[in-house]
A and B are shown apart, each in its own frame.
Chain A
């Protein structure tokens, strides 16, 4: 209750001359440019498995998820069934579940309920990060502004990747094909530097994934299920070995 009052007062005490929606549009510009480059590579990957520009564009507009769409392309190309599609999507995109949990705590109790159906569409790594950084309660219009401009870049990049992928010389396509993996490394490596346990987790995950792709029998498991099996096993074991809440609690006490 005191927290509620405090958060409201913060927002009243610091009124912004620029409306939140416009601030969102402005902060969305750098996200948009980055998304364009990455989604262009995604479009090339989609084209590689035979998707057309409309399909890839709809995928990007509907999902707005880098790793998730990458997994979706793998699933479509491997002719996966419905159960494998849903279960892989759930596992690969589980981090959005956590982000939504976190951001739901930043909404004012007075906020109209329909925002709880619109905001989920805005949950990406970058938009979540900036939305969480807002002091006090989040004005959803800030997230909507960022989302409109960055999803435009994300979708255009994907469509152009499909359309221009064949005009592009192979050496450029080759080069762009690793950009998504570079982005994944940029997400997992900096926390590994700060936390040895996460570093070990990343190393074990990569080693296990490598083993799954070379060992007989294991290498017949499809890419989607490999991700599910290894994630549940390794992250599940990690949660037993080192629960995050306990260490966080100890740090707060100390």
Chain B
């Protein structure tokens, strides 16, 4: 059951919209269930970590430049943390290692 690309996009856009919209309509009060609050709190960290590794290593055409980008990205995020600085650092690392590999 694989819909076409436009229908897929419509389904996913509506899904994402509903996720953002429902709390505004339904949860007029704060959520009180501790486990649910904790689960929702931890979700972004796990999701993004799973999506980042090992995908970053295999994203480029050379595995070593991917590994270098991961290391530089981790260091930049640890010491500086700024969203766009980290993104640019990773790009620059792949670009520079690409000159030698």
A binding-site residues for B, Cβ under 8 Å: 34, 37-38, 51, 55, 58-59, 62-63, 65, 67-68, 70-72, 75-76, 79-83, 85-86, 89-101, 103-105, 107, 116-117, 119-121, 123, 126, 170-172, 174-193, 198, 201-203, 205-206, 208-210, 213, 226-227, 230-231, 234-236, 238-240, 242-246
A231 touches B37 (CB 8 A): no
A100 touches B11 (CB 8 A): no
> B28-65 vs A: 1/0 string, CB under 8 Å?
10110011111111111111111111111001110001
A242 touches B84 (CB 8 A): no
Cα-based distance from A90 to B42 in the complex (angstroms): 15
B38's contact among A62, A186, A245, by CB below 8 Å, is which? Answer: A245
Q: Total interface residues on B, using CB and 8 Å?
A: 77
Residues in A whose Cβ lies below 8 Å from that of B16: 62-63, 65, 68, 89, 93, 96
B binding-site residues for A, Cβ under 8 Å: 1-3, 5-6, 8-13, 15-17, 19-25, 27-28, 30-31, 34-56, 59-61, 65-66, 69-70, 73-74, 76-78, 81-95, 98-99
Cα-based distance from A179 to B91 in the complex (angstroms): 6
Residues in A whose Cβ lies below 8 Å from that of B91: 175-176, 178-179, 182
Cα-based distance from A86 to B13 in the complex (angstroms): 10
A174's contact among B23, B37, B94, by CB below 8 Å, is which? Answer: B94
Residues in A whose Cβ lies below 8 Å from that of B34: 243-246
Q: Given known contacts A201-B45, A205-B49, is B20 in contact with A120 (CB within 8 Å)? A: yes
Which residue of chain A is the closest to B81 with respect to CB atoms? A190
Which residue of chain B is the closest to A234 with respect to CB atoms? B46
**In the complex, how many angstroms separate the beta carbon of A149 from the nearest chain B beta carbon?**
16
A55 touches B5 (CB 8 A): yes
B11 touches A183 (CB 8 A): no
Which residue of chain B is the closest to A116 with respect to CB atoms? B24
Which residue of chain A is the closest to B11 with respect to CB atoms? A85
Residues in A whose Cβ lies below 8 Å from that of B65: 174
Question: Could you list some 29 contacts between A and B, CB below 8 A?
Answer: A38-B84, A38-B87, A58-B9, A58-B13, A59-B9, A72-B8, A72-B12, A75-B12, A85-B8, A91-B43, A93-B15, A104-B27, A116-B24, A120-B24, A121-B17, A126-B83, A178-B56, A178-B93, A178-B94, A179-B90, A181-B59, A182-B77, A189-B81, A201-B46, A230-B50, A239-B35, A239-B38, A243-B35, A245-B37
Q: Given known contacts A38-B87, A100-B23, A227-B50, is B74 in contact with A185 (CB within 8 Å)? A: yes
A198 touches B88 (CB 8 A): no
A91 touches B52 (CB 8 A): no
Q: Given known contacts A101-B31, A186-B86, is B77 in contact with A178 (CB within 8 Å)? A: no
